[in-house]
Amino acid sequence: MLGDNQFKNNKTPYQKERDKLIPLAVKEADNLCGPAPPLFEREEWNARWNRIYHNAMNRLWAERGNP
């Protein structure tokens, strides 16, 4: 079984570049969705956050000139 450091070293260049964008996309989704509601109200919020996060990742990736 690979340790965390070994796994990180096995990432492809694509994975390493995408990983750099994650904090930016998380910040954008958090800013647009606001704080998470109580657990019993999260389904709609989670769906919205997830959609915004993935749209941000795709946009940030494209802005870097990647297909």
pLDDT tens string 1-44: 455 555 667 999 999 999 999 999 999 999 999 988 888 788 99
Identify the pLDDT of residue 39. Answer: 84
- In SS3 terms, 14-66 reads as HHHHHHHHHHHHHHHHHHHHCCCCCHHHHHHHHHHHHHHHHHHHHHHHHHCCC
Give the start-to-end residue ranges of the domains of the chain: 12-63
Tens-digit pLDDT profile for residues 24-35: 999 999 999 998
Kindly report the average pLDDT of the chain as a whole number. 88
Its pTM stands at 0.66
pLDDT above 70: percentage of residues in the chain: 87
Distance (Å) of CA 67 to CA 4, 62, 64: 29, 6, 9
Checking 28-37 for CB contacts under 8 A at 24+ apart, the result is 28/52, 28/53, 28/56, 29/53, 29/56
